């Protein structure tokens, strides 16, 4: 995903995380706060950053599986 800024990546990652998870996970954790922490692992890894923020958010949810449902 060429040309995306760090700020834009973070904004879109957080927006997608909230869109697919809601404001809070089932265990009560705040999704926006989680996204603020989790995004850096995706941004710092070239191949994940290249997938785009929405794909990274979708993969994050899939990785967590049913733990938050």
pLDDT tens-digit map of 11-69: 999 999 999 999 999 999 999 999 999 999 999 999 999 999 999 999 999 998 755 55
Model pTM above 0.85:
yes
Q: What 3 state SS string does 40-52 have? A: HHHHCCHHHHHHC
Q: Which two tokens stand for residue 43?
A: 């941004």
* Domain locations in the chain as residue ranges: 6-68
- Residue 66 is classified by DSSP as G
- Residue 27 is classified by DSSP as T
What three-state secondary structure class fits 24?
strand
Distance CA 35, CA 20 (A): 12
């Amino acid at each position: 995903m060429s040309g995306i800024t760090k700020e834009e990546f973070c904004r879109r990652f957080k927006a997608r995380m909230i869109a697919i998870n809601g404001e809070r996970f089932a265990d009560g954790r705040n999704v926006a706060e989680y996204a603020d922490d989790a995004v850096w692992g995706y941004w710092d890894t070239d191949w994940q950053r290249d997938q785009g923020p929405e794909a990274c958010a979708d993969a994050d949810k899939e990785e967590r599986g049913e733990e938050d449902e």
